[in-house]
Structure 1
């Protein structure tokens, strides 16, 4: 008789002990106090490759080698965590991995993948866009007789990701009330959902997607996986245009009200908060589960809640952008275009209207040839959103003409 999914997941979990001990399940005092609940973080950002992706890559590779011990070449297409998981597994099993990445992949990600795989991997940079990279990898795989390792649409990958749930149940010692999971292609969420359903756990799930990559939401609305017309790539670990067909088989009955969308700028605020308060480095996808707490704070009050922090592969060169977006989301930073009279003392008049905590972060003339008025781009940081209401009131009373462009994406992307 074949093993049940939960039995197979436990066996896969045991096999993973060759690579690393269970990732910590930590009660977070800061979040618990904030939401009046028992908030626990499942720290998948602390695996050897700083994401849960190693679990699925290892389990899938082991399954292939158990059936075909002479399989020597594995191929994948990835610009991030899946590539690093595959690289690590290739080195462990002593097989060759050919990893295709877009030409635009940051050097930091390429270097980390190379470190994890060592001499067992070859990295090929192909295509400006991921679709081109994927096509090239699959073409090569067919020619070379390799085995293609999909990042989420693979039964053994899903099984490997379910090991996160096995560890949670063992470590917590009881069923959590709520488990909050990030969703990209659906491998992690499908694995844990299936495991908990089969074991009879009464835990309720919440599934969190980035606003600019809501592939599960689209699939639930259409009753089948649907390709999104566009994807915001900021949450690169979860911004997937189409949820996997196999994961969706498990997730197709998820209630729409249990799917949460997180705005990208709000994720930045969560990342900065966790870094400043807890010293925890999370990538955007790794912050999704924690970020969702604010939207369901009434539901989690008094409950035992697990947030899976899925990854911590954050390039600190992105920190200024993340801080900027966080400040804008929190209402502490705004940009506006000011119509400044071209007369002596006009700038001094404007500066005199600033409050004690209003800081000029940017000042740039946009049009210098006008005789009577000049357009000025101004960025101001302050300590509270209320300060802007007071500032704009003073500007109005003084007769200044201005336009707030903070949330005007079309204008902001060209000027800011």
Structure 2
């Protein structure tokens, strides 16, 4: 047994004084769908509804004389640190992005109580991280990185310890969501070459893939914060050192809209509440279906801190990805009956979900924003064919990101 495995097992044993192992559950629906033996490691059922409590616990237990901990977090690490600050009776100063969902801020306050102080700084995690480090340098305290810390990585590896013990062995494949890389590096290092690790990133925050391509950690030009639990612009140096030999073929990026389909599916079919980052590993199953068939597979559902105020947006994005929702701008003549002519082109399953008169584009014409929802993606080509045949002028803006930001 190598030194890292021994430390991970020691961390797992120590944290039993604080919380029990998270469940490892076989999922019948996913197993039948993909023809594999698929298990979910339910980190969404930890005391703080994410795996982050593990790294926070392990790093903080190794600083017995420290009474002030400082961290930066998009939400889940903050909750883990807050929980442990209250449990250990120490003070915590927590920096979170201004864009952090309210649910995560409220839960952090709840877990930490009077032991923590929260500052909202920066629009993106990397800006928040810089603010927290500067405060810590100025005011003192122990800075607790969410992922770029050996003790944190070691603590996150306790996930792998539990999986091995709960399965009575190792899985053939394990799918790991990647943000800053702490959990994925810890689990992959623990298992070594005993299992095949697949690393899953959001398309708007694929910092591991960028680092592997550049052969060094690099800062992404742009980060999409929708998958807030994995929206990191630069992978940590320590996680990268452990993952630098990962083949690109073992990484996959999932679009933000696509993640939404899994959130909705797991909620509706399984009653499982996953945040966007927590759904990444499950959605990635489809990418590797051919060689997962007949194998034992574990998906780490990394978190369930989902703000239900986001549900309408998640549903909308899921429908857009599935091809069931489209938006377009139509140029309607300013005459009686023009709208009726347009409505006559709709099929029996086509429903208008948005209708907004935008402006006159000419003396005799006006622009209208139309949202259409249907029950089969094949209905849209038929609709557009009827619009073309009737001579209507329109523009599909569903996948026009810049246009959608303004009008959808």
TM over 0.5: yes
Match of 2:236 in 1: 244
Change (3 A) 1:403 1:104: closer
Q: Secondary structure at the match of 2:92?
A: strand
Match of 1:54 in 2: 53
Q: Secondary structure at the match of 1:277?
A: helix
Which of 200, 203, 224 lines up with 1:208 in the alignment?
A: 200
* Distance in 2, Cα, partners of 1:297 & 1:132: 38
What is the Cα deviation at residue 369 of structure 1?
A: 6.8
Match of 2:41 in 1: 42
What is the Cα deviation at residue 55 of structure 1?
A: 0.2
Match of 2:285 in 1: 293
| Superposed CA offset, 1:241-262 (max 9, x none) | 1101111111011010010010
What is the Cα deviation at residue 142 of structure 1?
A: 2.6
| Superposed CA offset, 1:346-369 (max 9, x none) | 211211221111000011111247
User: Is 2:162 the partner of 1:167?
Assistant: yes
Equivalent runs, 1:2-401 vs 2, <5 Å: 4-65=3-64, 69=65, 71-197=66-192, 201=194, 203-368=195-360, 370-401=362-393
Q: Secondary structure at the match of 2:366?
A: strand
* Distance in 1, Cα, partners of 2:266 & 2:172: 23
| Superposed CA offset, 1:269-322 (max 9, x none) | 111111111111111100000010111111211111100000001111111111
What is the Cα deviation at residue 229 of structure 1?
A: 1.0
Change (3 A) 1:240 1:127: closer
What is the Cα deviation at residue 7 of structure 1?
A: 1.1
Q: Secondary structure at the match of 2:391?
A: coil
TM-score (norm 2): 0.97
* Distance in 2, Cα, partners of 1:220 & 1:231: 17
* Distance in 2, Cα, partners of 1:223 & 1:371: 58
TM-score (norm 1): 0.95
Q: How many residues align?
A: 408
Change (3 A) 1:295 1:369: closer
Q: Secondary structure at the match of 2:349?
A: coil
Q: Secondary structure at the match of 1:237?
A: helix
Change (3 A) 1:128 1:398: closer
| Superposed CA offset, 1:331-389 (max 9, x none) | 00000111112222221121122111100001111124743222111000000100111
Q: Secondary structure at the match of 2:62?
A: helix
What is the CA RMSD across the aligned residues, in angstroms? 1.5
What is the Cα deviation at residue 132 of structure 1?
A: 4.3
- Structure 1: runs of 5+ lacking an equivalent: none
Q: Secondary structure at the match of 1:335?
A: strand
Q: Secondary structure at the match of 2:108?
A: helix
User: Is 2:403 the partner of 1:411?
Assistant: yes
* Distance in 2, Cα, partners of 1:125 & 1:413: 24
